[in-house]
Amino acid sequence: MSTLPDITDFVAGLPKAELHVHHVGSASARIVGGLAERHPGTVPSDPEELRKFYEFRDFAHFIEVYLAVVDLVKTPDDIRYLTYEVAREMAEGQQLRYAELTCTPYTSVRPHEDGVGMPIEAYTEAIEDARVAAQRDFGLVLQWIYDIPGESGLPAADATLDYALNHRPEGLVGFGLGGPEIGVPRPQFAPHFQQALSAGLHSVPHAGETTGPDTVWDSLRLLGAERIGHGTSSAQDPALLAHLAETGVPLEVCPSSNIATRAVASLAEHPIVAFRDAGVTITVNSDDPPMFGTDLNREYVIAADLLGLDESGVADLSRAAVNASWAPDDVKVRILGEIDAYVAR
């Protein structure tokens, strides 16, 4: 029997951490409306028209919306507004206490066709100002993962590494690799990840989302992956599952995203149960939540339903995310204490 009706209220109030959520991909219709008013053009600012524009239809529509939002983020003030308002919605609507937000500075810093682009110093100042304000105003601790857009190849990797090493914001903890996986082999980025690791950043590439287990193996062996973004196809390789379980490398599981991108045919076929049964560490995440018509609360409810979890099991999912995070130790202790207190009530 589904646990969905019983667990929803518990999830809504549960203190949580999120590890796999994208900066631009977290812009809700409300936030996009604010940006559209600043930069009139292709994206409607009227709330009703914007709601229809934002209604998820298929993956091609997601790409259309995502790129439209990228084009709306033109100035450092836009970056600050986007970041701060995303933090507001995380804290107020989903009880997030900590999030590692995956940023792709390359798409904002490099010159676009219309000549728009900002200095990396201005980008860094904008996200850091929002980070400090979010902790002050909402009690939400934000940290950053800088993400190579894989489809842009080695020039984007070179630039992203430069941003991370030579313009490093205080909140930067991780170095990632996103974008399409097909036709973007992981080994070419090994030198970049080695330098990032040497500089004290953590390695967290996307892998095995729309490609097979070999992508995950490459990420572990060549990129030094300490967590895997998605890792969906890991379930196809028993040796890989055993390795992930033995080493404790967590998977960042995003159920609704996997359905939307057709990485998995249906929730009933989602490999999250196989991961759990193999002893793999699971964290539950929302990826690009408004664009996939979801949020972290909903992803927890879905995971609880698939895994057959009660309130105690759902609380353990939240603890797993905190423990797998790169939050400072005092932040981890505080959030784990909040989860325990919430469960006790």
> What are the catalytic residues?
209
Give the per-residue SS3 of 234-247.
HHHCHHHHHHHHHH
CA distance 152 to 156: 6
Q: How many CB atoms lie within 10 A of CB 310?
A: 12
Backbone angles phi, psi at 301, to 5 degrees: -65, -40
CA distance 191 to 180: 20
CA distance 313 to 325: 19
CA distance 215 to 325: 22
Residue with tokens 């090493």: 165
At a CB cut-off of 8 Å and minimum separation 6, what does 210 contact? 180, 181, 182, 261, 262, 263
Backbone angles phi, psi at 150, to 5 degrees: -55, -30
At a CB cut-off of 8 Å and minimum separation 6, what does 263 contact? 209, 210, 230, 232, 257
Give the per-residue SS3 of 49-109.
HHHHHHCCCCHHHHHHHHHHHHHHCCCHHHHHHHHHHHHHHHHHHHCEEEEEEEECCHHHH
Q: Kindly provide the residue ranges of all beta strands, DSSP E only, lying in 211-305, ordered along the sequence.
A: 228-230, 251-253, 282-284
Answer whether 29's CB lies under 8 Å from 50's CB.
yes
CA distance 53 to 304: 30
